[in-house]
Structure 1
Amino acid sequence: MEAERSRYQSLQITLAEWNDAIIMIRVREIHQLKSVIENEPLRFLTDFFVQYHLLLARYYLFLAAPQKAKEILNMLENKHDTLSPFERNLLLHVKGIYYYSTRKFDCCIQALNQIDDEYPNAEYYFHLATAYHSVHSNTFAYYYGQKALQFFQKTLNILRVIDSEILILIQLNAKEPFDMEQTKQQYDKLLRVCESVNSKERAHKIHNNLGFEYFRRKRFPESKESYERALGLTTEKTPPSSYLVTLSGYILACLKGNLLSKEELYQLANRGRKMAKDHQDPTGVFFEIYLLTLNDDEDELYTYIEKTALPHFKNMGNHLMNQHYERMLFLYYVKTGQTEKGFQLASEKMSNEISYYELE
C-alpha cells in the first residue's frame, strides 16, 4: 500500500512538472517527462485520466499537431459535467489554444473568457491577448498582454517575457505608427535578451516585426534588411507559416521599393506559392497577388482580388487585409469607370461600419 501511495503521489507531481515545463517551454524536459508519464499505468486512473489527456493535447499543440489534440478534446467532450474546477479550466485553456492554432480566434476568446479565478495558470492571459490581437482588438490585447507579462516576470519565465513584450510593442504601433526610434530601441533590447537565452525563434519574430514597421513608414531598404535578417534566422524547425509570412513581407518590401529585379521577385513569389500550397498555408493568396502584380495585368489581378482574395480574408476573419484590398479594389473601380461596382462596394462597407459616436 505504501508503494502504491508513493507511485500515486509521484504521478501527481510529475504531471504538475510536465504542465510547468510546457508553460516554461523547457523543450528537453517536456519530452523527458512525457516518456516518464507514459511508463506509468496509473495515468489511466479516474483521478488522472482527464488531466493526463488534456496535458497530452497541450503537448500535441506544442508540437503543432492540432488534429491529434482535437481527437482528445472530442473524446473528453461528454465528460464536462464530471470535471473538477481545475480540469474544467484546463479544458477551456487547451480548447482556446486549439482554436487559436486553427485560426478560430472568436472561439478562442469565447473559451478563454470562461476560465474563472480559481485557475492557477495565468499563462492563459497571453493566449487571450494574442487572440484579441488577431481580431485587431488592440485595447484588450494590450491589457491582457500586460497581465501575462506580470505573470511571466513573477515566475521568471524569460522566453514568455520576451513574447509578451513583443506583443505589447505591436499594440503600441497598431493603429498609428509609434515613434520608430523608440520602437527600434525596445526591439534591440529584446534582441539582446534573445541572444543571452539563444532564442533564434524570437529573434526571427523581432526582425520580422521591424521589417513590417519600416514598411509601414515606407522605409523600404530598411524593411528589406530587417526581413533578410529574419529569413537568415529560419531553420528546418521553423514553422512553414512563420517562414512564409516573412518571405511575403520581404517580397512586398522589395516590390514597393523597387529593390530587386522582376525576375528575382517572380522566382521568390513562385517559391512562396508552391510552399504555401504544399503546406495548405493561407499566405498562398499573397503570393498569387504578387505574381499577378508582376505580370502587369490589372484586370486579372483585380478579378482575383474581388473573386478570391476578399472572400478568403473575410472567411479567415482578417479584417486588416480585407480593409486594405477593399480600398485597392474601390480605387480600381473608380479609375476604370466601373462606378456601379464602386458604389456597391462603398455602400456595403458603409453599412457595415460601426458608429463609435452614436455607439451603434
Structure 2
Amino acid sequence: MIQGKIIKFHRELQVLKQIDLGEGICSKTHISKIERGLTEVSEETIELLAKRLRIDMKAEINTYLSLDLLLKEWHESIILKLNSKAESIKKQLEGIVLLQLPDFYRSYTLILTRYYLLIGEYTLAESLIEEMDSWHELTPYDQNMVLHIKGKFSLDHQKEYNDAISYLKKIDLTYYNNSEYYYDLAIAYQCMDSRVLAYYYANKALYFFTKSHSFTRIIETEMLMLIQVEQEEYFDPKDSGYPRLIEMADNLGLDDQKAKLLHNYAYQQFRYGYYDKAFEYYKQVLKIREPSHSQYLVSLEGYLNAATKLGLTSDTELLRLAKEGFTLANKLKDTMFTHYFQLHLYKIQNQKEQYYHYLEAEVYPYFKKMGYGLATETYEIKLFDYYMEIGEVELANKYALPILEKYRKNNELV
C-alpha cells in the first residue's frame, strides 16, 4: 500500500514514534500494519495521519507514481547526452524527498552517478561508487548498471583501460537493456590500440543509437569508426568522412561534437604531414573549448605539436604554450598530459639528454603500465632510435624486442 510507505517514510523523517503518530487516531499496532500494508484503512484515518505529518497525501501519491517514469526519462537523457534536459530533470528531482524511499533510492543513486560521469564530476561520482560497494542483494539490472558505471569511471577518469574492459565485458544485456555500453567498450579498445575490436563494438553501438534517433551519439560513434578506418595502411585521406560529420554537427548546433570532430580531423591531417591544416583545425577547436573543458588539454597539445612541426611559431610562444599545458595538466592532476607537456618543454629548450632520461625513466614506464599500446610503441621506437644514434646497441635492442615479439609470426618458413 503506497499510503503506508509514505506514512512510514515521513514519520521516520520527522523522528516520530508510531505511538505518537497514532495518538488519538489509532493504536500503535494499527500504525504498524498500515505502514506494512497489512490492513485495510479508511480514507478518514489516512487523512488524519497525513494532517499530523503535515503532508498532502494525494500530492505525495502522485509524486510516488510519477517517479519511475521521471527517473527513466532522466537516465535516457544521460545515455543520449541531452545535457540540458538531464540537468533540468536533475533540478526537478532535487526537491523530491520521496527519492530516499527504498523503492527509488538505489535507482536514483545509480542514475545520479551516471549524471556526474556525464558532466565530469568524478569526485562526486567516486563517493557514490564507494557507497555502492556496501550495497547487498542488488537486482540483476542494478548489478549490471554498477558494472557499467565502474567501467565508465575506469575509462573516463582513471584511464585504466584494462579495468574498464573487465567491468564492461561482464555486462549481461539479458538484464540490462542499455546497449550504449558497446560505445564505452569501443573507446576502451581504441585506447588499447585494438582497432578491430574498437570498430566491432562501435558498429554495435551505432545500431543502438540509430534506433534511438540520437544524432549526437550517431555522430560520435561514426567518428570513432572513422578513426579505426583511417589508420589502415591504404586509407586515402581524400576519402575522409570528417568534413561531412563536421557539417552535420555544425548544422545541428552540436558544438561539443564539432570540436571533437575538428580535433580528430586535425590529428588525421597531422599524421599525413599536412601540418598547416592540422594547425588551423586545432586552432578552431581551442576557440570552441574552454580551458576548463576536459578535452582542452588534448587539443592544446595537438596545436603545440602542429606549431612545432610548422616552424613558424617562435620558441618563446611555443614555450608559453607548453608551460600553459603543463600548469593546467598539473592542476587537473592529469598524469598523461603532465608527461606530454614536460617532454615538450625539454624539446623546445633543446634539452635532449633530459628529454630522453625523462622519457625512459618516467613516461615510457607510465604508458606501458597503463596499457596505452600506441604511445608505448611510439616511445619504444624513439628510445630505440636514440640509443642506436649514440651507439648503445644493447639498450636499443631492449626497446626493439617488444615490437618484434608483437609481430612475430608463429608460422615457420623453410
TM-score, normalising length: structure 2: 0.80
Answering whether residue 227 of structure 2 is matched by residue 206 of structure 1, we say no
Give 2:216's aligned residue. Answer: 159
Which whole-Å deviations, capped at 9, do the CAs of 1:148-202 have from their partners, x for residues lacking one? 111111111110111101101001023436210111xx11111121112211111
Q: Identify which of 287, 290, 295 aligns with 2:344.
A: 290
Answering whether residue 198 of structure 2 is matched by residue 137 of structure 1, we say no
Quote the Cα distance in structure 1 between the aligned partners of 2:203 and 2:375. Answer: 26
Quote the Cα distance in structure 2 between the aligned partners of 1:140 and 1:345. Answer: 26
Measured at CA, do residues 211 and 9 of structure 1 come closer, stay the same or move farther in structure 2, by a change above 3 Å? same
Residue pair 2:377, 2:403 contacting (<8 A) in 1 also:
no
Residue pair 1:204, 1:233 contacting (<8 A) in 2 also:
yes
Which whole-Å deviations, capped at 9, do the CAs of 1:268-319 have from their partners, x for residues lacking one? 1122112112222221211111221122232222111111211221233222
Measured at CA, do residues 358 and 42 of structure 1 come closer, stay the same or move farther in structure 2, by a change above 3 Å? farther
RMSD: 2.0
Identity %: 31
Answering whether residue 123 of structure 2 is matched by residue 67 of structure 1, we say yes
**TM-aligned CA deviation for residue 47 of structure 1:** 2.1
**TM-aligned CA deviation for residue 35 of structure 1:** 2.5
Does 146-155 or 31-40 show the bigger shift?
31-40
Structure 1: 5+ residue stretches without partners: none
Answering whether residue 95 of structure 2 is matched by residue 54 of structure 1, we say no
Give 2:273's aligned residue. Answer: 218
One-letter code aligned to 1:285: H
Quote the Cα distance in structure 2 between the aligned partners of 1:348 and 1:120. Answer: 41
Which whole-Å deviations, capped at 9, do the CAs of 1:24-80 have from their partners, x for residues lacking one? 222222122222223222222222221111111111111212222122122122325
Q: Identify which of 326, 334, 357 aligns with 2:380.
A: 326
Which whole-Å deviations, capped at 9, do the CAs of 1:321-348 have from their partners, x for residues lacking one? 1211111111111111122322333345
The number of equivalent residue pairs is 353
Give 1:173's aligned residue. Answer: 230
Quote the Cα distance in structure 2 between the aligned partners of 1:62 and 1:10. Answer: 24
Measured at CA, do residues 315 and 85 of structure 1 come closer, stay the same or move farther in structure 2, by a change above 3 Å? same
Quote the Cα distance in structure 1 between the aligned partners of 2:163 and 2:308. Answer: 36
Residue pair 1:221, 1:259 contacting (<8 A) in 2 also:
no
Give 2:183's aligned residue. Answer: 126
Question: Counterparts in 2 of 1:251-330, with a 5 A limit?
Answer: 251-281=304-334, 282-330=336-384
Give 1:35's aligned residue. Answer: 91
Quote the Cα distance in structure 1 between the aligned partners of 2:223 and 2:202. Answer: 9
1:283 partner SS: helix
Structure 2: 5+ residue stretches without partners: 4-56
Give 2:204's aligned residue. Answer: 147
Quote the Cα distance in structure 1 between the aligned partners of 2:331 and 2:170. Answer: 36
One-letter code aligned to 1:53: T
TM-score, normalising length: structure 1: 0.92
Quote the Cα distance in structure 2 between the aligned partners of 1:321 and 1:157. Answer: 32
1:78 partner SS: coil
Q: Highest Rg: 1 or 2?
A: 2
Measured at CA, do residues 215 and 274 of structure 1 come closer, stay the same or move farther in structure 2, by a change above 3 Å? same
**TM-aligned CA deviation for residue 17 of structure 1:** 0.9
Residue pair 1:201, 1:238 contacting (<8 A) in 2 also:
no
One-letter code aligned to 2:168: L
**TM-aligned CA deviation for residue 147 of structure 1:** 1.1
Quote the Cα distance in structure 2 between the aligned partners of 1:228 and 1:90. Answer: 38
One-letter code aligned to 1:94: I
Quote the Cα distance in structure 2 between the aligned partners of 1:26 and 1:297. Answer: 47
Give 2:134's aligned residue. Answer: 78
